[in-house]
Structure 1
């Protein structure tokens, strides 16, 4: 149990730092740049996350499982090398295409910072977190990505105060993301460098990951395109939507490490493997419940603190944020801890594709009828549908 707790704590450091930074930096951005500041940040990060998720192909879903199943360290390094060569060019292409769009949508005073947020968030698609999850090595994730992010956040706070601008945070964020990528490369490949990867291997990845890439494209579009869609079709709801959306994504980042942290521990049991799976999923269910009910207690005060009264929040918004984060965690738990280890990723990808496309179609109409909270509600509805499908499939299979 101590080993499990240390592992979870290690993987929790990075999202924990990210959430802590948001608690400090969002009020500063709201104070110095107002709604244009956090809307520009949300725009850059949302489109950048779309690039990151699409460019990351299906590696975040299936990568850790492939690392767990690898026979030796050389095989694990080759898998990661192939992932870099398949992800890197695609991320570069998508970010180049996306940059003019966010530049045009951002407020004139926020264009440069929005571009920096876009680039930094896009490069997150080159993360090694799933590799470390598969090897059960949170220490490397903490050192390479956690400490560098902490340094970036620690410098960003005084930089924003001194410069009175969001741009300093955006630029530092970009620099330290690049540093983290370099440290991961050094840790995984060492002085020997990355193994050679041929075009045939990269092409095979694109073929094998095709359905997963489509699903992640649809899922990431539903998660990160609404800000851009609403900016063009219903700009009056954007401040409320982006405020809720920022907190929701920070909450998801704070807890979505959990299923990944449990993968290697669950699958390396010599005996009682099923019991470990039950324990892992139960832990996720308990955390999801604590997140939902805890947020109902602290959410109202925290939202007032974060946005300095610029945006008004009611009980419906608080309820929606808590439910959406909890449901997203449960969906990830069933995907990574149950379906993917049983090679059920096709069900995961097909469900994600269909549900996310429906969510994208519903975003603008929901916003026009119900405002910002209507657009945001599509997240919770989509997660609820996916959870029902996954749980239903598991129940039917257990009855056979």
Structure 2
């Protein structure tokens, strides 16, 4: 709906606002999406989980003071004047999404809470926005409705988790210590999103409006596909990391197979069906080109294969420095390639940067993850 309201001139701008907002959301989370599920999965009782949530809320309140305004400012300068207000509002709404309890629900292995407090409000915002956008033709209503529905849901989840746990009696660490402990995982998350979320802004700045919008459509299909990777990765993480598991090797292998298979099927689907799907969903004027779709399909395969290596093996083992190093190298390779593609006016070059970044990351982490797998599965489960 939004792609048709803004046309090929505005589609790239709107996607830039959303991409910058998602990067700011990573700043608000400041590593909780990486280490948070692991800590919650390993927590032994509800009180310990309440402490973890309390620490996250306090730290995210501070990081939001910087990340949310920054999202608006950056989007203001990246977007064109015709769609600046709407793009900034989208960026801010996405950034506020950093208060989501999704990572906490994932660590709990609680899909019902994940759907109730994260999925349903977002789906409801989309459903309510459709008629409003049709009637008014103004897309700024979507970020407004999104914030009005998601923030109360986030707050309700926090109240329910903390209920029965006196805030004054919860031995949460000081926020300064919490933020300091999160630096390694926050750095990993930020570096990874440096090449994950900057492709659209780079393309918007360097490419003609029509080509940038076509690239935005290919990127949008890729981002929608990543929701499946996130969902499958989330579904397996608490199960694989269960401290009471006696079949640890089998659980790792099942997770590897599921995400590897998803990467292969999804990657082929993006490459083969991307141009047709974007023409149908977003409109022929902003349909994606075949070659960028092929490169995004390769990126999808690699990121799907790399997800269990990082989330189920290396991060739980405390291999933060290794993951950070691989992510930084990937970010340098990816962003450099994207910038060169943008300077050359090539959407294919920008897409190549996304694919190269994910391929480099998996290549660096594969052998250390295999060694960690052997070490983890050689030890008996802790009962």
What TM-score do the two structures reach when normalised by structure 1? 0.85
User: Counterpart in 1 of 2:28?
Assistant: 55
Distance, in Å, in 2 between the alignment partners of 1:192 and 1:62 is: 23
Distance, in Å, in 1 between the alignment partners of 2:147 and 2:213 is: 24
Say if 2:288 is the partner of 1:301.
Answer: no
User: Counterpart in 2 of 1:186?
Assistant: 159
| 1:310 match: secondary structure | helix
Distance, in Å, in 2 between the alignment partners of 1:57 and 1:280 is: 26
Please say which of residues 62-71 and 314-323 is displaced more in the overlay.
314-323
Say if 2:230 is the partner of 1:256.
Answer: yes
User: Counterpart in 2 of 1:239?
Assistant: 213
CA contact (8 A) 2:71 2:88 kept: no
Say if 2:330 is the partner of 1:355.
Answer: yes
What's the CA shift for 1:396?
5.3
Q: Compared with structure 1, are the counterparts of its residues 351 and 194 closer, same or farther at alpha carbon in structure 2 (3 Å cutoff)?
A: farther
Distance, in Å, in 2 between the alignment partners of 1:194 and 1:329 is: 39
Q: Compared with structure 1, are the counterparts of its residues 196 and 115 closer, same or farther at alpha carbon in structure 2 (3 Å cutoff)?
A: farther
Q: Compared with structure 1, are the counterparts of its residues 242 and 262 closer, same or farther at alpha carbon in structure 2 (3 Å cutoff)?
A: same
User: Counterpart in 1 of 2:255?
Assistant: 280
What's the CA shift for 1:59?
1.4
User: Counterpart in 2 of 1:391?
Assistant: 366
Superposed CA offset, 1:334-355 (max 9, x none): 1112222333233112211232
Q: Compared with structure 1, are the counterparts of its residues 37 and 182 closer, same or farther at alpha carbon in structure 2 (3 Å cutoff)?
A: farther
CA contact (8 A) 1:114 1:170 kept: no
Distance, in Å, in 2 between the alignment partners of 1:191 and 1:39 is: 47
Distance, in Å, in 1 between the alignment partners of 2:164 and 2:87 is: 36
| 1:203 match: secondary structure | helix
| 1:165 match: secondary structure | coil
Could you tell me which of 144, 162, 169 is aligned with 2:117? 144
Superposed CA offset, 1:292-324 (max 9, x none): 233344333212112321135443123122222
What's the CA shift for 1:384?
0.7
Distance, in Å, in 2 between the alignment partners of 1:159 and 1:214 is: 39
What's the CA shift for 1:139?
0.7
Superposed CA offset, 1:358-397 (max 9, x none): 3223321122336012112211111111111111223456
User: Counterpart in 1 of 2:286?
Assistant: 311
Distance, in Å, in 1 between the alignment partners of 2:167 and 2:92 is: 24
CA contact (8 A) 2:333 2:356 kept: no
Say if 2:329 is the partner of 1:377.
Answer: no
CA contact (8 A) 2:274 2:288 kept: no
Distance, in Å, in 2 between the alignment partners of 1:56 and 1:243 is: 27
Say if 2:59 is the partner of 1:86.
Answer: yes
Say if 2:198 is the partner of 1:225.
Answer: yes
What's the CA shift for 1:232?
3.7
Q: Compared with structure 1, are the counterparts of its residues 312 and 38 closer, same or farther at alpha carbon in structure 2 (3 Å cutoff)?
A: closer
User: Counterpart in 2 of 1:325?
Assistant: 300
CA contact (8 A) 1:281 1:333 kept: yes
| 1:256 match: secondary structure | helix
User: Counterpart in 2 of 1:210?
Assistant: 183
Q: Which runs of 5+ in 1 are unaligned?
A: 1-27
CA contact (8 A) 2:337 2:352 kept: no
Distance, in Å, in 2 between the alignment partners of 1:214 and 1:59 is: 11
What's the CA shift for 1:197?
7.7
What's the CA shift for 1:45?
1.0
Distance, in Å, in 2 between the alignment partners of 1:397 and 1:145 is: 33
CA contact (8 A) 2:272 2:294 kept: no
Instruction: Count how many residue pairs are aligned between Structure 1 and Structure 2.
Output: 373
Distance, in Å, in 1 between the alignment partners of 2:125 and 2:363 is: 40
Say if 2:90 is the partner of 1:117.
Answer: yes
What's the CA shift for 1:399?
8.4
Distance, in Å, in 2 between the alignment partners of 1:47 and 1:305 is: 26
Please say which of residues 45-54 and 295-304 is displaced more in the overlay.
295-304
CA contact (8 A) 1:43 1:227 kept: yes
What's the CA shift for 1:192?
5.4
CA contact (8 A) 1:216 1:353 kept: no
Q: Compared with structure 1, are the counterparts of its residues 38 and 194 closer, same or farther at alpha carbon in structure 2 (3 Å cutoff)?
A: farther
Distance, in Å, in 2 between the alignment partners of 1:341 and 1:312 is: 41
Please say which of residues 161-170 and 293-302 is displaced more in the overlay.
293-302
Q: Which runs of 5+ in 2 are unaligned?
A: 376-383
CA contact (8 A) 1:81 1:195 kept: no
| 2:190 match: secondary structure | helix
Could you tell me which of 134, 139, 147 is aligned with 1:174? 147
